[in-house]
Structure 1
Amino acid sequence: PPIILYKYSETRAGDNAVDFLHGFKGYLMCDGYSGYNKVPDAKRTACWAHIRRYLTDAIPKGKALDYTQPSVQGMLYINQLFHLEDVIRSKYSSFDAIKKARLEKEKPVVEGFLSWLDQQSPIRGSRMDKAVTYIQNRRSYLSTYLEDGRCSFSNNLSENAIRPFTVGRKNWLFCDTPNGAQASAIVYTMVEMAKANGVNVYHYLTYLLEKLPDDRMSDDELELLVPWNETVKAEIERRANESNQSYVNCQGAPATEK
């Protein structure tokens, strides 16, 4: 099931990631921050959206269609990968099929991009130099996503999920202290997790307030309250339907004269 989980930490030190992902084994999609390398059993994958962002910044003004520009050439490879990813994701639902299609369609493009990368010798200190350095430093992660159809191609999902938090903290009260940030993280977790699993947020929060889960509950007890639990989903759907019906009845009630 889709899980969106927020945790606040006062610094971005790599040890925070180690603590947060303790016991996790698998692929880790994140930005280029080297602190994530400390997570012992996680295999890093590179975010192609970040790669594209650096190359976009390196395109000289007014030269976006000038294919003699190295940055534009690099973008052609990446745009093709994004297009293929959209096509494959829309066509296949099984992870094995996605992996097979990626290896057939995307792997040659990735290899072509890496060959192009090795031919670059930008002016030192230029934006293209910054882009090439960024990409070369993450070269070993660029092809990792091809190993498993479950792997993400970019970090866009996580960045989209964190956007409400980063925008909200500038506007909501009590977000200017560590305790306030931690409380916000808990609330955002409940809201965004409900949305990710297609559960009505209002009725799910009401349901949780009735159950009052806390850290003294066992994992089995908490499992009965998660938004992907079929019993919970059925209950929230029932409440939402009843609420909608009540609204319709109220709106449709004929006016009466006293």
Structure 2
Amino acid sequence: MRFELSQNSNSKINEPAVEEITYKRNKPSKNSTMKDNLSNLEVIEIEHKLDSSENKCDICHEEMQVIGSKTKDILVYEPVKMYIERHITYTYACKKCEIESGQANIITTESPKNLITKSIASNSLLAYILSQKYELAIPLYRQEKCLQSLGVCLSRQTMSNRTIACADKLDFIYDKLREKLLLSNYIQADETTLKVVDTQGKESRSKTYMWLYKNQSCDNQIILFDYQKTRSSYCPKKFLEGFSGYLQTDGYNGYNKVDNATRIYCLAHIRRKFFEVIQPILNDKEVLGRSRSLIGFNYCEQIYELEKDIKKNYNSNEDFYDKRYKIRLKKLKPILDEFKCFVNEEVENALTKSSLGKALEYAKELLPNMCFILEDGHLEIDNNAAERAIKPFVIGRKNWLFCKNQKGAHASATIYSIIETAKANNLIAERYLVYLFDKMTGIDDFCKLNFEPLMPWANEIPRCIKKK
């Protein structure tokens, strides 16, 4: 249920109109969905023909001719197959050189190298384990059971050690992505809690945090996680050192310490505060109609409707952001000005500790900085993109509950960053990990490695890694 003011109504009136809106979605046909989803799969054709002994007419016994055919598609699942590649290397010696000089010329063939030296795990197995945990949120103990069903006894301790070792290797890519992120002029940020077991093996009483930073770009998207022990303002200040531009977050004051950042707040959080007030009275339209919180909520709805119309009408245009900038100056600015006036007037009469009073105080603090979205059409009105980006971590946390130590938490931040950045750039994360591992295998000093072809948006990325 949504409540909106009509276009011709005054937002300051005491009894705003309440309108219930329903939506009807057009569902795609079953056949079109199947065809779109399976178009990238290999097709194996199997012909069912009569053999020579059966291809005889029952009446005249003459050979029969094909007059038509029908096709039936069956989607086949082939179980995962795991096996051991046993590489046998040989050593060769030149007997002639040994006879003539007393020293034989010896050559030894080489076996393939793995990312983790002296590990039996192939690069593809490492990528599979990381993808299962950090993309599909399958904890290691469940993976241990799945592997046992395939006849493979690989303990979760071993997989955990390999995970941390992979994260140490991927830190190089993480650092390069962070350098690229700091060159952006628009970053969204968010943070959430994380449980970490202390050195005595007990759950730490103090909260630790996983921070998220995301650039807002159509191309070269970057999503980075950063594990920290506290929610101190020092954390974003340190991570974003060197950044200069717009920083969009919720109302947490810890981000105020970031140097050279223009703070933009999130309209969704402002709307949420007003909605929490009217939610208990949604079914009582008489009481709802007299609610001052409904007026504040409807201001937010007007802004969202305007943004929705802009995207609907101009999203396909090459100059979309310029169009949005101009329309916002004309239509959004008056709404924001009225909204601020409403909040400033109402907050004087509202009880400070009441739900309405808290919503108004929150809006009063954040609304002035919302005007910065009028400066650039690339800026969004809310921080929802960052909240969506941090959601995979939150879902995974529900399954694996906590990190065993801080080293594991840092490793999780690194791997989540690589996988979510790959997904944001329309890559198949598991295949991208294999690609990175293959390129990094056998290299001792990553500083000498050309990292540009390894970036998720690089033209050198093989087509099989990209989603179709």
Which category of TM-score, normalised to the shorter sequence, fits these structures? 0.7 to 0.9
Give the C-alpha shift of residue 212 in structure 1: 2.5
> Larger helix proportion, structure 1 or 2?
1
Amino acid at match of 1:50: H
Task: Identify if the C-alpha distance between structure 1 residues 142 and 230 changes in structure 2 by more than 3 Å, giving closer, same or farther.
Answer: same
CA separation of 1:135 and 1:239: change in aligned 2, threshold 3 A: closer
For 2:356 and 2:413, the matched residues in 1 are separated by: 37
- 2:407 match: 179
Kindly tell me the number of residue pairs found equivalent between the two proteins.
Answer: 239
Structure 2 residue corresponding to 1:223, chosen from 447, 452, 460: 452
Please tell me whether residue 146 in structure 1 is matched to residue 365 in structure 2: no
Unaligned runs of 5+ in 1: 245-258
Query: Given that residues 169 and 175 in structure 1 are in contact (C-alpha distance below 8 angstroms), is that contact kept between their aligned partners in structure 2?
Result: no
2: CA distance between counterparts of 1:68 and 1:173? 44
CA–CA distance in structure 2, aligned partners of residues 75 and 167 of structure 1 = 29
Q: CA deviation at 1:26?
A: 0.4
Which one has a bigger Cα radius of gyration? 2
- Name whichever structure is richer in strand by fraction: 2
Q: How does 1:188-203 map to 2 (within 5 A)?
A: 188-203=416-431
The more displaced of 171-180 and 100-109 is: 171-180
Residue 8 (structure 1) aligned to one of 219, 227, 234: 227
Percent identity for Structure 1 against Structure 2: 37
Letter in 1 for 2:459: E
Structure 2: which 5+ runs fail to align? 1-219
Work out which of the residue numbers 276, 280, 285 in structure 2 matches 1:61: 280
Aligned CA RMSD, in angstroms, stands at 2.4
Query: What secondary structure sits across from 2:280 in the alignment?
Result: coil
User: d(CA) in 1 for partners of 2:307 and 2:329?
Assistant: 11
8 Å contact from structure 1 (residues 25, 42) kept in 2: yes
Residue 63 of structure 1 and its aligned partner are, at CA, apart by 4.1
Tell me, yes or no, if structure 1 residue 108 matches structure 2 residue 330. no
1:136-159 Cα offsets, whole Å, 9 max, x none, are 122321211111112121111101
Report which stretch shifted further, 140-149 or 173-182: 173-182
Paired residues of 1:63 and 1:69 also in contact (CA < 8 A)? no
Shift of 1:77: 0.8
Read off the aligned partner of 2:294 and give its amino acid letter: V
In the alignment, which of 232, 255, 272 is matched to residue 36 of structure 1? 255
Whether the 8 Å CA contact 2:428–2:465 is kept in 1: the answer is no
TM-score of the aligned structures, taking structure 2 as reference length: 0.48
Of 274, 297, 307, the residue aligned with 1:75 is 297
Match for residue 323 of structure 2? 97
**Cα-to-partner distance string for 1:87-111 (whole Å, 9 max, x where unaligned):** 2234245322221121122111111
